[in-house]
Amino acid sequence: MVKLVGGVGTSHVPSIGAAIDLGKTQEPYWKPLFAGYETARQWMKEANPDVVIIVYNDHASAFSLRLIPTFLIGVADEFLPADEGYGPRDVPVVQGDARLAWHLAESLILDEFDLAIANEMPVDHGLTVPLSIMCDQPDAWPCKVIPLCVNVIQYPPPTGMRCYKLGKAIRRALDSYDDNLKVAIFGTGGMSHQLQGERAGIINQEFDIDFLNKLGSDPESVARIPHAEYIMETGSEGIEMIMWIVMRGALDDKVQEIYRHYHVPASNTASGLIIFEND
Amino acid sequence: MFFLSLNEAEAREAFRANEEACLARYPMTAEQRQAVLDRDWLGMLRLGGNVYYTFKLATVDGISMQALGGAMCGMTEEEFIEVMITGGKDQQGNPRRGPNVLEQGNG
């Protein structure tokens, strides 16, 4: 049986990845953000998961209006960094865990979560920036990764409650696996931000902090937040926070908050990070 | 599909070489093509271009996400960065102009 070593919620802002790639993390603009990542990286080293399930969204890299999977699991042995319009990030190739990924696919689909399955797809900043945040710049990522994509950029995205239930189904799948792996799950994206239109630049610290507070103690209330509330209160891209709810659903009902870091701004975004362990 | 093509280095080069010829290959309205040629970012959004697609064009031009955000609300990149550093905008879209960098953590 798998040991679920923890859940991490983190933003996946592309410019955070660029700051790491271009050696800017100690510049005054970025330093306070990266200072907050040190404890998270230490946690990652100590937790030392064999596999991380990363719940993220693709940004017109592997998928687009041509094909819009609501939920998708990547089952390949490796995933190459995507060219998103500025060349692929110079980060290690992401190694998959096909055996666990296929077990997840089977368990989830027979549990009535009908995910799409991808054998080949590039992974964009949504997946690689969280790895950089948690692992810095290793020659190879210290863990295998199972990508789990959620559509949040083309209406209609799934509901927060559907995401919460998916998390619970992921947990049932992990609990029925026949190998003693250490697994972590990351929910990524957010927090409040709007990249486009006249309201570009929305930040709602009050909403974000309330979300962080309730995600641990009252996840069902967070799961019931409607799409329109995210858009009105946190900007058009704040809806990404539903992916944190998948992560929370995979954990026990009662969790311990290990660490939290919140910083405004990272480019156009309120950057949040939270680590939970089962209590 | 035009914006999506910019995920490939060759397509980016072809676009740089001849924007109009490149745009003519895609099923776009005349209005959409003109918005691209004019770099009318808000116009592209109104004509159906989600920012994750139009940002690929901004990247070809060497424009940052902050400059793009500013362009959509009538600010320079510097003005937009300043708005973000002072807490961003409220839900109505008005700059908060609050204290510098907001922080919360237990680290």
- Cα–Cα distances (Å) from A6 to A46, A50, A258, B21, B36, in that order, read 11, 12, 9, 52, 45
Between CA A81 and CA A61 the distance in angstroms is 10
What SS3 class is residue A204? coil
**Domain that includes residue B26, residue range:** 2-85
Mean pLDDT over each residue of chain B, to the nearest integer: 92
Give the pLDDT score at B107. 42
Residue given tokens 């701004």 in the structure block: A265
> How is residue A265 written in tokens?
């701004």
- Rounded Cα–Cα distance for residues B84 and B77 (Å): 11
CATH of the domain at B28: 1.10.700.10
Which residues 21-60 on chain B approach chain A with CB closer than 8 angstroms?
42, 45, 50-56, 59-60
Residue B90 lies in a domain: no
Q: In what order do the strands lie in the sheet with A182-188?
A: A116-118, A71-74, A144-150, A51-56, A182-188, A3-10, A269-278, A255-266, B102-105
Does residue B37 lie in a domain region?
Answer: yes
B32 domain-assigned: yes
CATH number of the domain encompassing residue A187: 3.40.830.10
DSSP states along A53-72? EEEE---SSS-BTTB--SEE
Active site residue A59: no
Within 8 A of B88 by CB-CB distance, chain A residues are 192, 201-203, 264-265, 268, 270
* Rg of chain A over all Cα atoms, to the nearest angstrom: 17
- For residue A221 the two structure tokens come to 């209330």
User: For residue A40, what is the nearest residue in chain B, using CA coordinates?
Assistant: B107
For A265, phi then psi, to 5°, come to -110, 160
Which regions of chain B are under pLDDT 50?
Answer: 107
Inform me whether the C-beta atom of residue B100 falls under 8 Å from chain A C-beta atoms.
no
On chain B, the residues whose CB falls within 8 A of the CB of A85 are 6-7, 12, 55-56, 59-60
Indicate which of A12, A198, A203 best probes the interface with B, i.e. most B CBs within 10 Å of its own CB: A203
Report the pLDDT value the prediction gives residue B1, as an integer from 0 to 100.
83
Predicted confidence at residue A171, as pLDDT, reads: 98
Residue A248 within any structural domain of the chain: yes
Chain B residues close to A211, C-beta within 8 Å: none
Dihedral angle computed from the Cα positions of residues B74, A197, A212 and A145, in that order, rounded to the nearest 10 degrees: -110
Tell me what pLDDT residue A216 has.
Answer: 98
Binary contact (B50, A268; C-beta < 8 A): no
Query: Quick check: is A228 in a domain?
Result: yes
> Which stretches in chain A have pLDDT values below 50?
none
In a domain, residue B95? The reply is no
- A278: closest CA of chain B, how far (Å): 19
Query: Which of B44, B65, B83 should be substituted to probe chain A, the one whose Cβ sees the most A Cβ atoms within 10 Å?
Result: B65
> Is residue B103, in this structure, part of any structural domain at all?
no
The domain total for chain A is: 1
Instruction: Report CB contact under 8 Å: A261, B107.
Output: yes
Which residue out of A12, A59, A103, A125 is catalytically annotated?
A125
pLDDT at B105: 60
Instruction: Domain of residue A91: give its range.
Output: 3-261
pLDDT of residue B103: 61
- A12 carries an active-site annotation: no
Nearest to A202 among B72, B93, B107 (CB): B93
Q: Do A85 and B6 touch (CB under 8 A)?
A: yes
Residue A159 domain flag: yes
Report the complex ipTM. 0.93
Amino acid, res. A201: G
Q: Report if residue B107 sits inside a domain.
A: no
Number of domains observed in the structure of chain B: 1
* Residue A80 belongs to some domain of the structure: yes
Return the residue in A11, A195, A230, A233 with the most chain B beta carbons within 10 A, the one to mutate for interface testing. Answer: A195
Percent of chain B with pLDDT over 90: 90
CB contact under 8 A, A197 and B45: yes
Q: Return the pLDDT at A228.
A: 98
**Minimal CA–CA distance to A167: which of A180, A146, A145, A185?**
A185
Amino acid identity of A30? Answer: W
